[in-house]
Chains A and B, each alone.
Chain A
Amino acid sequence: MLVVGPSGSGKSTLALAIGGMIPREIPAAMGGLLSLDGREIRGLDPTAVAARVGMVWQDPDSQLVMERVEDDVAFGLENRGWPRDAMLARVPEALDEMGLAGLQRQRSRRLSGGEQQRLAAAGALAPRPDILVLDEPTANLDPGGAADFMDRLAALRDERSTTIVLIEHLVEAAWPMADLILALDGDGRPIDVGTPAEVARRSAGLLRDAGIWLPLAVERRIAGHEPRAPRARAPIAGAARESATGRPVITAANLRFGFDRGEAVIRDVHLRIDAGERVALVGPNGSGKTTLARLLIGLLRPDTGTVRLLGDDPARLSPAALAERAQYVFQDPERQFLAQTVEEEILLGLPVAVRPSARTLMVRLGLPLDRFGRRSPYRLSGGEQRRLSLACALVREPAVLVLDEPTFGQDRHGYEALLEILHERLDAGATLIAATHDRRFVADATERAIKLDDGWIVSDEAVS
Chain B
Amino acid sequence: MIAARTELDDVRLKGPLGRVSPVVKLAIAVMWLAGMALTLRILPPLFLAGAAIAAGIVLGRIPTRTFARTLAPLWIAAIGIGVSNTLFAASNGDPAATELVQLGPIRITVEAAAGGIALACRVIAIASVGAVFTLTTDSTRLADSLVQQARVSPRFAYGALAAYQAIPRFGEDLATLRQARRVRGLRGGWHPGLLLGVLVLALRHADRMALAMDARAFGSGPRTFYRPTHWSSLDLVVGIAAIAVLVVALAFGR
State in angstroms the CA–CA spacing of A54 and B181 once bound together.
39
Q: How far is the CB of B57 from chain A (nearest CB, A)?
A: 23
A21-B214, A62-B209, A84-B228 given; A67·B161 CB < 8 A: yes
- Which residues in A have their C-beta under 8 angstroms from that of B200? 378
Chain A interfacial residues counted at CB < 8 A: 71
Contact across chains for B201 and A71 when beta carbons are under 8 A apart = no
Q: Distance (Å) between the CB of B127 and the closest chain A CB? A: 22
Classify chain B: how many residues form its interface, as a range: 35 or more
Any A CB within 8 A of the CB of B176: yes
Asked if B185 and A70 make an inter-chain contact with CB atoms under 8 angstroms apart, the answer reads no
Q: How far is A173 from B62 in the complex, measured between Cα atoms in Å?
A: 50
- CB nearest neighbor in A for B173: A335
Main secondary structure of the interface of B (DSSP, over half): helix
- B135-187 CB contacts (< 8 Å) to partner A: 138-140, 158, 161-162, 165-166, 168-169, 173, 176-177, 179-187
Q: A107-B6, A337-B197, A349-B186 are in contact. Are A65 and B213 (CB under 8 A)?
A: yes
Q: Which residues of A (75-102) have their CB < 8 Å from a CB of B?
A: 75-84, 87-88, 91
Q: Residue B37 at the A interface, CB < 8 A?
A: no
B161 to chain A, nearest CB (A): 7
Contact flags (1/0) for A98-130 with B, using CB distance below 8 Å? 000000000101100000000000011001000
Q: A25-B211, A67-B165, A337-B197 are in contact. Are A79 and B218 (CB under 8 A)?
A: yes
What's the minimum C-beta distance from A58 to chain B, rounded to whole angstroms? 10
Residues of chain B within 8 A of A127, CB atoms compared: 216-217
Known A54-B216, A87-B226; 20 more pairs at CB < 8 Å: A54-B215, A55-B215, A65-B158, A65-B216, A66-B161, A78-B225, A79-B218, A79-B221, A84-B228, A294-B179, A297-B183, A299-B183, A322-B182, A322-B183, A326-B183, A330-B179, A335-B173, A337-B180, A337-B197, A349-B181
- The answer to whether the Cβ of A323 comes within 8 Å of any Cβ in the partner chain is yes
Contact call B212/A55, Cβ cutoff below 8 A: yes
Tell whether A324 is near chain B: CB-to-CB under 8 Å: yes
The number of inter-chain residue pairs (CB within 8 angstroms) is: 174
Nearest CB to that of A45 among chain B residues?
Answer: B220
Q: Which 10 A-B pairs have the closest CB atoms?
A: A323-B185, A74-B226, A47-B220, A349-B184, A76-B216, A63-B212, A260-B1, A62-B208, A336-B180, A50-B217
Residues of A within 8 A of B233 (CB): none
Contact of A79 among B138, B162, B217 (CB under 8 A): B217
Q: B254 an interface residue at 8 Å Cβ cutoff? A: no
A263 contacts which chain B residues (CB < 8 A)? 1-3
Bound form: Cα–Cα A294–B215 in Å: 36
Asked if B222 CB lies within 8 Å of chain A CBs, one says yes
Question: Which residue of A is nearest B3, CB measured?
Answer: A262
A54 CB contacts on chain B under 8 angstroms = 215-216
Considering the chains assembled together, what is the distance between the CA atoms of A88 and B226 in angstroms?
Answer: 8
In the bound complex, residues from chain A placing their C-beta under 8 Å from that of B224 are 77-78, 81-84, 87
* CB-defined A-B contacts under 8 Å, sample of 21: A54-B215, A63-B209, A63-B212, A65-B209, A65-B212, A66-B161, A67-B138, A67-B165, A71-B140, A75-B158, A75-B226, A84-B226, A124-B215, A297-B183, A319-B182, A327-B183, A328-B179, A334-B204, A335-B173, A337-B180, A392-B184
| Interface membership of A30, Cβ < 8 A | no
A427 to chain B, nearest CB (A): 23
Instruction: Encode contact with A along B101-130: 1 for CB under 8 Å, 0 otherwise.
Output: 000000000000000000000000000000
A268 to B109, CA, bound (A): 57
Q: Is A19 part of the binding interface, using a Cβ–Cβ cutoff of 8 Å?
A: yes
How far in angstroms is the closest Cβ of chain B from A370? Answer: 23
Report whether B214 and A299 are in contact in the complex, using a CB–CB cutoff of 8 Å.
no
Give the nearest-CB partner of A331 in chain B: B176
- Residues A319 and B177 in contact in the complex (CB < 8 Å), given A78-B226, A84-B225, A123-B216: no
**Most chain B CB within a 10 A radius of its CB, from A46, A335, A349, A392:** A335
A308 close to chain B: CB less than 8 A = no
Report if A349-B214 is in contact (Cβ < 8 Å); known contacts: A84-B228, A335-B176: no
Q: Which residues of A contact B93 (CB under 8 A)?
A: none
* Contacting pair A71 B216 (CB below 8 A): no
For the complex, what is the distance from the CA of A59 to the CA of B204, rounded to whole Å?
A: 12
Q: At the interface, yes or no: B65 with Cβ under 8 Å from chain A?
A: no
Q: Is B230 an interface residue (CB 8 A)?
A: no
A50 partner, pick from B181, B188, B193, B216, beta carbons under 8 A? B216
B219 at the interface (CB under 8 A from A): yes
Cα–Cα distance between A65 and B210 once the two chains are bound (Å): 9
**Contact residues in B for A83 (Cβ distance below 8 Å):** 224
With A84-B225, A337-B197 known as contacts, the answer to whether A59 contacts B185 (CB < 8 A) is no
CB of A393 within 8 A of chain B? yes
Query: Of the candidates B173, B184, B225, which one forms a contact with A323 in the assembled complex, judged by CB atoms under 8 Å apart?
Result: B184
Given A50-B220, A63-B208, A84-B225, decide whether A338 and B161 contact each other with a Cβ distance below 8 A.
no
Please state if B187 and A319 are interface contacts (CB–CB under 8 Å).
yes
Instruction: Flag if A76 contacts B182 (CB, 8 Å).
Output: no
